[in-house]
Structure formats: C-alpha cells, structure tokens
Amino acid sequence: MRVLLVNMPWASIDLPSLALGILKRSVDERVPDSRAEVMHANIEFVDWVTRRTEFALRDYNYYSLASYFIGCGDWVFSSALYDDRSWHVAEFVEGTRKNVDAARREQAFVLHELAGEFVRETARRIVERQPDVVGFTSTFQQNTAALAAARYVKELDPRIRTVLGGANCDGKQGEAMHRNFPFVDLVVRGEGEESFPALLTALQEGRGLADIPGLCRRDEEGRCVVNPMRSRPLPPSAILAPDYTGYFERLASSRARSWVEPKLVVESARGCWWGEKHHCTFCGLNGSSMQFRSKNPSVFFDELTELARRHRVLDMYVVDNILDMNYLKSLLPRITESGYDLRLQYEIKSNMRRHQLEILAEAGVIHVQPGIESLNSRVLGLMDKGVTGCLNVRMLRDASAVGLSVAWNYLYGFPGEEAADYDEVIEQLPALEHLNPPGSQAGRIAVERFSPYFNNPELGFRELRSAQQYRYIYDLPEEELFDLAYIFDVPPQGIDDAVVDRLNAAITTWQQAHDSSRLTHSSFEDRIVLVSKRRAFDWSVLEVTDPCEIALFHLLDQPHTPAAAARKLGGAGEARVGEILSRWIGLGLVFTDGGQYVHVAPAAVNQELLRPGYLRQLGVETVPDGPGDRAAASLQSAPA
C-alpha cells in the first residue's frame, strides 16, 4: 500500500511535522508491505508564492501563527476550498476591520486569489504519485488548505482514500469535518500511532472499520458513522520517535532555506500533570486527553541524540505541555554530561526554583514558556494556575539570572476580575523593565473547546458562539460551525477598555525599554551592591550595608509577607520591615502582590550579553531575523 502524508500551509517551515514524522514511522514499521512518504507542501508553497508576489518570512509567520485568533490564514485558502476567488471578501473585510491593517488586508486578497491555483497544482502532484491513501494533518491554520487539497484529489482520482487527522479533528470537530465535507473519506480522531496503521491494515485486507477507535467513516449507504474514542490514552511506550526523512533535503532545495534555521521537533510527554489536578480554566490545549504520560528518560535521551546525530541539528523544540519534574534528576543531568551542545525550548511551570532553572540551563534549555499569564494573585486564582503574582515575578528574575529567555503573554477578561487587580501591577511595571516583557500586547482570553470555560457554564461564560472568523471562512449553518470550531465568541467579561489601554501602554513601554534596562545585585559578606539603569528610577548604584536590610533582601529571594519576614528576622519588628519595604518599593527593588513581597534584582551575570538587542545598541552589526530572534518570536506569537 502506498501512503502519502501531506503537510499543507500554514504549518511552520522551520519545523518538520511531528505528527507526520510519527505516522510515517508507524506506517513503515507496523503496516506490512506499506511505505509512507511525506509531501512538504508548506515549503513548496514558499517557492510557489515567491515567484508570483512579494512575500517574506514575516508574512508566512503572520498567516501561520500570529493571525490565528482572527483566521487570516484559513481565509486565504477558503477560496480554494469553495472554488471561488471572491469567497466572502466583504465578510472578511468587515470581520477584520479593527485588527488587520490595509497593507496586510491587500496582501491577503492577493493570496486569496492565488490559493486555488496552488492547491490544484498540489493535488495534481499528489495524484501523480499514485497513492492508495493520502493523509492530511490539520493543526492551527491548516484546515482549509487541507480540506481544499482533499477535495481536488478526490475530483482527480476518486479511487484515492482521503484521510484527515490532527488537533483540528479532535472530538466533535472531527465529526463535523467528516459530516460536512463528503470528499473526506475518513477522519482519525485522537492519537494516531495505533489507529492509523490499524486503519491502513483494515483497508489493505478488506476488513470492516468498526473496531478502529475514534474513526469517522461512512457506511454502505453513505451515512456518517462515528466510532467511540479510546477510553484510555496511549501509554508512553507506544509513543514513537518521529522519522523526518526528506524534510531537511526539501528545505535545503527551497528558497526558505535562507529564511530559517531548521529545528527538530521532539516529544517527551503528553498531557499535563497540573491539569489533571487543576485544569486551568481557559486552557484547551490537551484536547480530549489530559492524562499526563512521559517517556522513560533513557528512551527519550536516545531519541534526542539519535535525531541530532542523524540530521546534524542541535536546536530542538520540545512540544510537551509541561516538563516532567522527574527529568530534573534523570534526563537533564544526562544531557549535560553527554557533551551534546543542544539548544532546547521547553514549557515549564512558573513556580520552579532557581536551582531547578540552573539544571535546565546547564542541559541546554535556552527558551522556556512558563505560562505566566498574569502578575496578580487574584486573577491567577480565577485561572486556577496554582501560583501567585510574586512567584511569577520570581520566575522572570531567576530566569534572567541563569540566562533563560522567557516567552509569555499577559491575559485578561476573566469572569470576576476587577480593575483593582490590574492597578497595582501597572504601577509597578517600571520596576520590572529589566526582566523579560510579555511578547505582545495584553490579550483578551478566547474560550477554547475542551477548556473548563467551554465545558462548565457555571464558571461565567454561558453564551457561546463559534468565533466570527468561522463565518467568513466556511459556508455552514451555525450548529455545524459550533461543532467545527475550536475558538468561541462570548460576551466580554472582566475589566473595561480603559484599564486594558493602561495595561497595554505600560507593556509597550516595558517592551521598548527592556533592551536598555538593567538591575542586578552582587552579594558580599558585609554588603549588597545593586546596579540599576532604568528610566523610572534616578539612582544607578546602591549599597545595602545594614545587617537587617541585608538579611531581609536575602529573605525576599522567596515571596514573604511582612509579618513572616519579621518573624524570621527575629530582632526586627513588623513596623521596621514595613518601613524598609516601603522604601524599597520606591527604589524599584521589590514587587508586591497579595500581601507578599519579592525582590526583583537578579544576581549579576552579565545579563546584557544574553540579549540580542544589547549588541544592536552598541552598534554591532547583527543578522536580521537571526535564528535566536526567530525562535523567540515563534514562542511569543504562539496562541496563549
């Protein structure tokens, strides 16, 4: 059996598809007399479109990720899906009037008109390979491109079986996809390592498909039939390492090779151990399977080193929703000792201590995404994050001290939040300008499928409607759009626009001031020396010599209330501690939230040299859109 797996735009071009890499290996190893190939149509699109119009990496990244919550990427290929170059243009203009500028809108029009030609050419190349089965992965803004390609393939050769899978096909979404687009023969929902090979084997042997978990199929009369999902997720031992054969060769022959430095995508765990206990109210990332499972550290270490050796690539993006904390004692020390100069990106929890962050940095982790989302404890409680505002500031401080770049977004719009939850934070942001700012302006939360906000109206969102973007992308009735959608529009909750404007103004100032801001401390036996260069504070060097103040500063390495600090200091009363803290607030040395205080001065380790922007300030020539900048931008533009 010949199987072709297709990665359509707008999949990231600097990363191979993890899903298709895993499926390729599962087909090659588990389906007798079968071989899978991967078509990198996302890379082919770069070469195709740059021959026809002006188009750059920043444009691709915009349609791939940055515009996810307004659907520009999917709208571009909706013209191909419905074979109409003017498909819903007026609706798109109206729907994006507030958040898409004129130049970007004009570019979207051009791409919208060209998309059908590219998809038809792609479909012809697929059919020329004469596959028995063609599988499309659909994640983020790949849906309309994948659907359109499936449609044209089916028109050119009805014999070919078309299959869709991926994050956009989980649960009800997959059912709606299968129900509304008859040119999609089959939809694989959930984890595909076992179900996709089982599907291929059944097709090869002419057996029925009723036993394949999660599969959407049609019976002999053409009616849609939905198999139940797996009752339990796959064990970690069943999660295969990917096979990226062909990706690097295809990128090397593409114009995109000058745009990006490729990275490997790796996976050590699925699910979320925090979400199993406390599902963050706005998070729908784990879809229908929250249960946390991690690979044996020795197995994953072997996967990492083998991929690095085979592809000669050291930059790796780890897709786990959260780090397995046991890896701090097993996997990460082994990476450190291995001699491999890996550069890893990992998602972590923001309450990790400095010594734990040091273990990450020593192993080659350079970017972390700790899910900070707010600096106010009350709002974090509404999210059920299990951390405080001071702990999140501690994360920013300690990450700076150990050389980790932190990607995070500031979110608002939670039921029950108040303006007061933001006022004190906004007032203190100038003291944090030396630490990693949010990657973008503050964002109102979107209600996502699979999140507690979606599943439990009692949390505050009772009126859900599929997000506006789905109405200018698809031609479906509202009830079908509701099942197809991942993002939902709701009546706004929480703070008003005036508070949002103040928050965004403060974040913008932080972003602009960050590269030139500095605050560090050096600790000696009899004093602490602090060095500051921040626009809002007029001091540059400060020595703390009072024994009580030295002891208090060290104590505030961790968040403390004044009462707790006074108790631990022994001789100092709470009034004395309060006086010191009040003075330090004025000097921008501490951050306070929810009655706790934490100091904000990282230990001095030449932090400036770790910032790409620092060299630019000195007039040192740097390469535009360098790999370090791109990696940070990729993380910062990702949906929260």
User: Per-residue pLDDT for 623 more than 80?
Assistant: no
User: Per-residue pLDDT for 592 more than 70?
Assistant: yes
Instruction: Yes or no: say if 190 and 44 are a contact pair by the CB < 8 Å rule.
Output: no
| HSE of 354, CA atoms in CB hemisphere, 13 A | 13
pLDDT in tens, 357-408: 999 999 999 999 999 999 999 999 999 999 999 999 999 999 999 999 999 9
Whether residue 273 is preceded by a cis peptide bond, meaning omega within 30 degrees of 0, is no
End-to-end CA distance of the chain: 40
Q: Region 171-195: what's the mean pLDDT? A: 96
pLDDT score for 253: 97
Query: Which DSSP symbol is given to 182?
Result: T
The residues near 45 (Cβ < 8 Å, ≥ 6 apart) are 8, 9, 118
User: Per-residue pLDDT for 424 more than 50?
Assistant: yes
pLDDT score for 497: 96
The residues near 46 (Cβ < 8 Å, ≥ 6 apart) are 13, 55, 60, 254, 255, 256, 259
288 φ, ψ (degrees, to nearest 5): -90, 5
pLDDT score for 166: 96
Compute the Cα dihedral for 325, 328, 332, 334 and give only its sign.
Answer: negative
The domain 263-512: what is its CATH number?
A: 3.80.30.20
pLDDT score for 629: 37
pLDDT in tens, 6-49: 999 999 999 999 999 999 999 999 999 999 999 999 999 999 99
Which amino acid, residue 503?
L
Specify the residue for token string 């809002």. Answer: 536
**Over the range 320-354, which residues count as b (16 or more CB within 10 Å of their CB) and which as e?**
bbbbbeebbeebbebbbeeeeebbbbbbbbbbbeb
Q: Region 449-471: what's the mean pLDDT? A: 96
pLDDT score for 192: 93
**Of residues 339 and 597, which shows the higher confidence score?**
597
pLDDT score for 163: 98
pLDDT in tens, 283-325: 998 877 889 999 999 999 999 999 999 999 999 999 999 999 9
408 φ, ψ (degrees, to nearest 5): -160, 165
Q: Region 140-149: what's the mean pLDDT? A: 98
Q: Region 334-361: what's the mean pLDDT? A: 96
Q: Region 495-499: what's the mean pLDDT? A: 97
Confidence of residue 609 (pLDDT cuts 50, 70, 90): low
pLDDT score for 287: 77
Largest Cα separation within the chain, whole Å, is 85
Confidence of residue 605 (pLDDT cuts 50, 70, 90): confident
Mean pLDDT over each residue of the chain, to the nearest integer: 93
Confidence of residue 613 (pLDDT cuts 50, 70, 90): low
52 φ, ψ (degrees, to nearest 5): -120, -25
pLDDT in tens, 82-138: 999 999 999 999 999 999 999 999 999 999 999 999 999 999 999 999 999 999 999
pLDDT score for 513: 97
pLDDT score for 628: 36
pLDDT in tens, 63-77: 999 999 999 999 999
Q: How far apart are CA 232 and CA 194, in angstroms?
A: 13
User: Per-residue pLDDT for 534 more than 90?
Assistant: yes
pLDDT score for 274: 93
Q: How far apart are CA 434 and CA 536, in angstroms?
A: 11
pLDDT score for 570: 87
Instruction: Yes or no: say if 436 and 369 are a contact pair by the CB < 8 Å rule.
Output: no
CATH level 2 (architecture), domain 518-601: Orthogonal Bundle (1.10)
Specify the residue for token string 């990917």. Answer: 242
Listed by start position, the domains of the chain span 2-230, 263-512, 518-601
**Nearest alpha carbon to residue 137 among 284, 20, 254, 287:** 20
pTM: 0.92
Return the structure tokens found at 372.
């900070």
pLDDT score for 186: 98
Share of the chain above pLDDT 90, in %: 92
pLDDT score for 607: 56
pLDDT score for 551: 96
Share of the chain above pLDDT 70, in %: 95
User: Per-residue pLDDT for 621 more than 70?
Assistant: no
User: Per-residue pLDDT for 615 more than 60?
Assistant: no
pLDDT score for 635: 29
DSSP 529-565: EEEEE-TT---SEEEE--HHHHHHHHHTTS-B-HHHH
